[in-house]
Amino acid sequence: MMRSAWVGLLVLVPLVIGAVLPMPAYAVVSACEARNRTQGGPTGADLQAVIDAANAGDVVAVRGRCVGNFVVSQDAILVGEPTASQATPILDADGSGEVLRVDSGVTVSVTNFTITGGDTNDAGSGIDSAGALTLVDTIVRYNRTPALHAAVYNTGTMSMDGASSVRRNRGGGILNEGTLALNDTASVTRNPGNFGIKNFGALTMNDSSSVRRHPFDGGIENWDTLTMNGSSSVRGNDGSLGGISNVRGDVVLNASSWISGNTGGGIGNLFGTVTMNGSSSLRGNRAWQGGGMYNSGTLTMNDASSVTGNVARRTGGGVYLNGGTLILNATAVITGNASGRGGGGVTDKNGSVMMNDSSQIADNTALTNGGGVAIRTFGSMTVSASATVTNNRADFDDDGGGTGGGVYCRKGTLAGAVADGNVNDNFRGQEGSRENNIIRVEC
Ligand SMILES: [Ca+2]
């Protein structure tokens, strides 16, 4: 009896009010409203008190803007509920301390929030997590740290899902010492004081995730392991070593992952390893030397991976080897790169180039020597029976300065199938009428 009366009232009240006033889709909330949805508890303005009173795994629903330094020390599910005035609820430290701390051993998910207003003198002004934290459609922005720190500090296991992003924080974006995954369309963008992600742990980028538009120290500084899958990208960053600086770490690019439009080069590899698989690519990057990659470690290109359309103002339009190793396997290609001086595709200074299988260095241009490859200072290059160096052009500005359309070997060794037509149809000048395959000086 009572129940049916209540149901009648619940139906009646909105109809009566709705007839008088247009009702918003959601209640208007700008202050903090927190409620334990699992236990059906009352709504309060003290989010920390609701978190502390929750049982492990309870859903804590939040509306509006909650100010404070929030700490989660047991398993929890935080869900931001949209309102008319606040579609994405805000956790705000209001310019003092960390916004959200997740303790070690705790599993937490955070869905549909903006995390902002953190200000600390070390890493983690926005989020400081030692636990297992999943961010879903959550934005971390406008937090502040000194330049060498970062808005997010992860020493546990963190994943960024959905459209989560870390952006426009002062200082770096993320400092990772644990395990970090970027999934879906998650992004780290425009953290203008510093790098996007500095990685001392295991960093994986999946799906269409991206690290973009960092103006000073590049997108990612990697000291341990970085794996890029799906169509993930690092693009539009500026840095002294380009989009990714890899310092003795291991970088693996799989599937159709891409490194593009970075200034300072696509990847700067200092004594580490970079392995390109699938159809991964370094494309459209620019640098003084090594437009696609500056390499003093090992770059292995497998499958149909490519280095394409990169530009060096000086040498090594695609790849500049400074004592490092470049191995091309399968159908890997270095193509369409350009240099303002020598080595349109590759400059090999005291390094080693091995072209295996059906790999190609093709359609690259240099304004001086070595349209495809320039070898100098004891560099070496070996070309296997079915690999080709073709349609590259030296002296592309046609001023008469520059030769060695395929390979210009200033000092070093050039070996393998080079006398068997594998280095063929390369040119000096733009016209394409003057075949100019291999020039040996002290080789
Ligand atoms: Ca020239």
- Which positions ≥6 away from 417 have C-beta within 8 Å? 383, 384, 385, 387
Q: How far is the CA of 369 from the centre of ligand 1 (A)?
A: 8
Residue 147 is predicted with a pLDDT of: 84
Q: How far apart are CA 143 and CA 426, in angstroms?
A: 54
Largest CA distance in the chain: 102
Q: How far is the CA of 290 from the centre of ligand 1 (A)?
A: 19
Output the six-digit token pair for 267.
């990847």
Q: How far is the CA of 327 from the centre of ligand 1 (A)?
A: 29
- List the domain range (segments joined by +) for residue 320: 2-442
The 10s digit of each residue's pLDDT in 47-92 is: 999 999 999 989 999 999 999 999 999 999 999 999 998 999 999 9
Residue 28 is predicted with a pLDDT of: 62
Classify 91 as helix, strand or coil.
Answer: strand
Q: Is the pLDDT of residue 10 over 60?
A: no
Q: How far is the CA of 389 from the centre of ligand 1 (A)?
A: 20
Q: How far is the CA of 395 from the centre of ligand 1 (A)?
A: 4
Q: How far is the CA of 22 from the centre of ligand 1 (A)?
A: 74
Q: Is the pLDDT of residue 14 over 60?
A: no
The 10s digit of each residue's pLDDT in 355-367 is: 999 999 999 999 9
Q: How far is the CA of 373 from the centre of ligand 1 (A)?
A: 15
Q: How far is the CA of 98 from the centre of ligand 1 (A)?
A: 57
Q: Whole-model pTM?
A: 0.92
Q: How far is the CA of 397 from the centre of ligand 1 (A)?
A: 5
The 10s digit of each residue's pLDDT in 214-228 is: 998 899 999 999 999
Say how many domains are in the chain: 1
The 10s digit of each residue's pLDDT in 107-148 is: 999 999 999 999 999 999 999 999 999 999 999 999 999 988
Instruction: Give percent of the chain with pLDDT exceeding 70.
Output: 93
Residue 19 is predicted with a pLDDT of: 40
Give the chain's mean pLDDT: 92
In this prediction, residue 305 has a pLDDT band, given cuts at 50, 70 and 90, of very high
Q: How far is the CA of 396 from the centre of ligand 1 (A)?
A: 6
Q: How far is the CA of 302 from the centre of ligand 1 (A)?
A: 33
Q: How far apart are CA 138 and CA 141, in angstroms?
A: 10
